[in-house]
Chain A
Amino acid sequence: MSADAHHLSGHGQDTHDPHAHSEGGHGTVKGYVTGFVLSVILTVIPFWLVMGNVLDNSLVTTLVILALGGVQMVVHVVYFLHMSTKSEGGWTFMALIFTITLVAIMLSGSVWVMYHLNHNMMPMDAHDVMNNAR
Chain B
Amino acid sequence: MMHAETAPPGAAAPVFYQTDEEGHHSEGSTMLGFWLYLMSDCLIFATLFATYGVLGRSYAAGPTPKDLFDLSGIAVNTAMLLFSSITYGFAMLEMDRDRIKQTQIWLAVTGLFGVAFVFLEIREFVHLFHEGAPPWRSAFLSSFYTLVATHGLHVSVGILWLVILLVQLRKHGLIVENKRRLMCLSMFWHFLDLIWIGVFTVVYLMGVLE
Which residues of A are interface residues toward B (Cβ below 8 A)? Answer: 9, 11, 14, 19-21, 23-24, 26-29, 32-33, 35-36, 39-40, 43, 46-47, 50-51, 58, 61-62, 65-66, 68-69, 72-73, 76-77, 80-81, 88, 91-92, 95-96, 98-99, 102-103, 106-107, 110-111, 114-115
Contact = CB atoms under 8 A, between A and B. Distances in A.
Contacts of A19: 24, 27
A68 B86 CA distance: 20
B83 to A, nearest CB: 9
Given A29-B90, A36-B86, A80-B190, 15 more contacts: A11-B97, A20-B27, A23-B31, A24-B183, A26-B92, A26-B183, A29-B93, A39-B85, A51-B71, A58-B210, A95-B35, A103-B43, A103-B46, A111-B50, A111-B54
Interface in B153-186: 176, 179, 183, 186
B78 A107 contact: no
A24 B31 contact: yes
B85 A36 contact: yes
Contact of B46 (A46, A58, A107): A107
Nearest to A61: B209
A76 B197 contact: yes
Given A65-B201, A76-B190, A33 B27 contact: no
A92 B50 contact: no
A76 B81 CA distance: 12
A50 B90 CA distance: 32
B205 A47 contact: yes
B53 interface: yes
Contacts of A26: 92-93, 95-96, 183, 186
B198 A107 contact: no
A72 B197 CA distance: 8
| Nearest 7 interchain pairs by C-beta | A69-B201, A32-B89, A110-B50, A80-B190, A114-B54, A99-B39, A103-B46
Interface string B27-67: 11001100110010011001101110110000000000000
